[in-house]
Chain A
Amino acid sequence: MPIDQRPFPPHIAGIMTDLKNIRNFSIVAHIDHGKSTLADRLIQLTGTVAERDMKAQLLDNMDIERERGITIKANTVRIEYPAKDGQTYVLNLIDTPGHVDFGYEVSRSMQAVEGSLLVVDATQGVEAQTLANVYQAIEADHEIVPVLNKIDLPAADCERVAEQIEDVIGIDASDAVQISAKTGIGIPEVLEAIVTRLPAPGGDRDAPLKAMLVDSYYDAYLGVVVIIRVIDGVVRKGDKIKMIKTGGAYGIDRLGVFRPQMQDIAELGPGEIGFFTASIKLVRDTRVGDTITHEKKPCVTALPGFKPAQPVVFCGLFPVDSAEFEALRDAIEKLALNDASFSYEMETSAALGFGFRCGFLGLLHLEVIRDRLEREYDIDLITTAPSVVYHLHMKDGSMRELHNPADMPDLTYVDHIEEPRIKATILVPDEYLGDVLKLCQDRRGIQMDLTYAGSRAMVVYDLPLNEVVFDFYDRLKSVTKGYASFDYQMIGYREDNLVKMQVLVNDEPVDALSMMVHRDRAEARGRAMCEKLKELIPRHMFKIPIQAAIGGKVIARETLSAMRKDVTAKCYGGDVTRKKKLLEKQKAGKKKMRQFGKVEIPQQAFINALKMDD
């Protein structure tokens, strides 16, 4: 982020803000309900950013965020608001992502603040992430201000949605603020509600420093930037601090706040949120949730900290051109610098050569990382089937984690296999309920709850995660025409009849297409996979059997027939040059294929074979 060179306004440069004049809050909502747009209006109305520098979803500054129109990283901004009571307040807002994959960003943001603005799209009502977020806010002891957004749209129905909030969530919505984040209606009321309804932070200025490490990221110019919330004490530029869990000790180089540009500040006191840099080289050297204190006069008790985000979806990433392996390693290391929730380790595949097995928070996270690798680092990638982490309970009593189906040991050593299960909450209009139940049932779900809120049903299912990582989201969207919302939480591991399915092309196993499946679903999966590959692999000069097998047993089979005709009809003296160019181009196209025995498989086949459409 470029550094703001403006001189500091006096109240930031020197005098500490009185605790009672601070409000810290997160903006939470279901995806697309308008959190970032509301943040824009708050930033704008308080004059934090000059009018000419405003743009929509100002805080979504990553390319991928702007392109997809979603928030991925939580962002903090400090704004100042002269309230009706004549006093000026310092507001620290955290805009959070709505997508389920990034739920971790929401939960840790909530730890840093005392209240939440719960935004609900008044044309949509309560959705799955609305619920998930509100429960987290309640757990974090937050004061919650419900905000009904998009009232400029004719379909907005504030009364119904307020009722829904009361019925489904059980919080008072009688004084919900009705706004349009787009047109600016109701924004002054939101600012007043923040000041009057959210609590001021506590904290003791004279106690030893105790600050929470909220987040950290890597900046090419500044190194690691650490975002903190001060609980007690005061931190100043030049201070010697240490991190209790990691034990790291550093001298603070720069101290500042986000407006949303970085702006230096002399000190941060209790209740304040800001950042520092301290010649920390790696994001890995910091741990979110860690307690920061002074080296000399440390605080006595540490903060409880947060559970680190666990990757739940794994897949292999291989460079299409094996010569790009080193470039891929570099790129992955750089990305991981900035994203602690993404894990990687080297992997080799007989089919695909050297690559990495990477762990992600979910499929969207996977997609985002893959996109960034391809675009920012210009590396063409092959992505293998997404997989979850299985627990292999061995006959000798030990337990092994299986991240990659290709690593499945000989079954004679395995006693049983457990798979991760999730609790999925789905909100859906009544007319699509039947389809949703069928989908969940087909995916080996166990119904846990079914309740109604007006004309919407809320279903809770216990589902195997591996059935969800494929295409559950897409299927859910398509069977409900986009009207369902979905949220999930991991609930643990359970044993089931799981097997490794292999795919053989022209009798050669293609390890990159191996996957773990439930035995009862294996035939259907195998058949779908073979049919798909038959479409995706171009014809060769000979016919090619495509098989799915468990152990040595073939469970599905297709045959790709031989090429019949591919010859230029007319080729005379004037056609030679052009024809040669054409063949050269086709030959170059062949280089984008992977050779398996005698068969060439296009990379696109690996990606598309896994997009099952049932």
Chain B
Amino acid sequence: MAKCPYCDFNSHVAASIDQDRWQRAYLSEIDRIGAETRGRVLNTVFFGGGTPSLMQPELVAAIMDRIRATWPTANDLEVTLEANPTSVEAARFIGYRNAGVNRLSMGVQALNDDDLRRLGRLHSVAEARAAFDIARNTFDRVSFDLIYARQDQTYDAWRAELTEALSMAVDHLSLYQLTIEQGTAFGDRYARGKLRGLPDEDDAGDLYFLTQDLCEKAGMEAYEVSNHAQNGSESRHNMIYWRYGDYAGIGPGAHGRVTIDGQRYATDTGLSPANWLEQVEKTGSGEQSRSAISGADQAAEYLMMGLRLRDGISLARYESLAGKPLNTNNINRLADIEMVSHQGDSLRCTPNGRAVLNAVLRDLLPD
């Protein structure tokens, strides 16, 4: 396994994984968090962040069993697993389905072999298509990710690639503009001026608006900045993040937002898998930090996440979290230049506003 050069996810590399030890650690973490959140209804599970498709289906099954034994689950529990589109991983799909996974999200990333190589991916387009076909026949719901605004990618090339992607897609598609993250191989290369051919702001804007346009015409409007779905096929798990609901993080490098006794906490666990494992075994908890989040911070996080959604946020909920309303002058100024629209309790970005969400947030977030 190789680490991808653009990714800041916790995709650590291990030759062989001692699945037994891991299983014990995961189950003990579920027990620990379960005890703190007893009685709450669980709606979604997401096996993601890195390379969960390296997990044996048996481990997934054991985790799902323990989850079901710990929390009352919704009737339509959504269980997503992120997978790389390789034949090795595709061979496990049936096992995952039997373990309870009902949605597969596949990191295809590009439909062009040269670019896959440049992104440091080890699969080919042909392999990805084959894996995707297997996924489609195995799971009720499938989605795949593409990264665009890549080095030297032209407007026309992306139009062709996206058109092809839309013809493959079932009901959900994630389309991310390549982001150069600090601390990744791309970040280093970029800092050294060695990452050429990336689009400038105007070109990136053109690619973004082309994407919105093509997807809308194909009936896959964006419900979030980078996520497109037919109505009703949105990722319910990710919607919890954007609607700022509660989620528990289990495993190395996992973040959580959990309400315990009426107080909301931010939790995280150690990034290094080996250390996480050892910590869980030695101390009975993988948690690295837990801090109470103030009302103001919760409101800020809600605003940041919620405005990513087509449907925006509720101003009343913002106010109840923050303890005071969002500044009306700021809202009006942004409404005047048509970056946001404000109707009753709802505040959402216009399509142009969503494209410059960071600027909108810099204006809206209180000092």
Contact = CB atoms under 8 A, between A and B. Distances in A.
B295 to A, nearest CB: 14
Given A541-B360, A572-B241, A577 B308 contact: no
Contacts of B179: 568-570
Nearest to A571: B308
Q: How large is the interface on A (under 10, 10 to 19, 20 to 34, 35 or more residues)?
A: 20 to 34
B204 A573 contact: no
Given A570-B176, A576-B301, A586-B362, A565 B241 contact: no
A568 B308 CA distance: 9
Interface string B347-360: 00000011111111
A587 B353 CA distance: 18
Interface string A558-584: 000101111111111110110110011
Nearest to A572: B241
A566 B355 CA distance: 6
B266 interface: yes
A584 B366 CA distance: 10
B300 to A, nearest CB: 6
Interface of A: 539-542, 561, 563-574, 576-577, 579-580, 583-584, 586-587, 590, 598
B100 interface: no
Interface string B248-272: 0100011111000000001010000
B340 to A, nearest CB: 10
Contacts of A539: 201
Nearest to B253: A574
Q: Is the interface of A mostly helix, strand, loop or mixed?
A: loop
B47 interface: no
A598 B336 CA distance: 12
B356 A563 contact: yes
A549 B61 CA distance: 74
Contact of B356 (A561, A566, A583, A587): A566
A568 B178 CA distance: 10
Contact of B201 (A541, A563, A569, A570): A563
Contacts of A587: 362, 365, 367
Interface in B204-250: 204-206, 208, 225-226, 238, 240-241, 247, 249
B209 to A, nearest CB: 9
Interface residues of B, number: 47
A423 B247 CA distance: 76
A563 B205 CA distance: 9
Contact of B357 (A567, A570, A572, A590): A567
A580 to B, nearest CB: 6
B297 A580 contact: yes
A583 B361 contact: yes
A563 B357 CA distance: 11
A601 to B, nearest CB: 16
B49 interface: yes
B304 interface: yes
B345 interface: no
B305 interface: yes
A593 to B, nearest CB: 11
Contact of A573 (B208, B257, B361): B257
B113 to A, nearest CB: 23
A566 B253 contact: no
A568 B241 CA distance: 15
Given A541-B339, A580-B297, A587-B362, A565 B204 contact: yes
A297 B240 CA distance: 95
A574 B249 contact: yes
Given A541-B337, A563-B356, A583-B365, 9 more contacts: A541-B339, A541-B356, A564-B355, A568-B357, A574-B49, A574-B254, A577-B255, A577-B266, A586-B362
A49 to B, nearest CB: 47
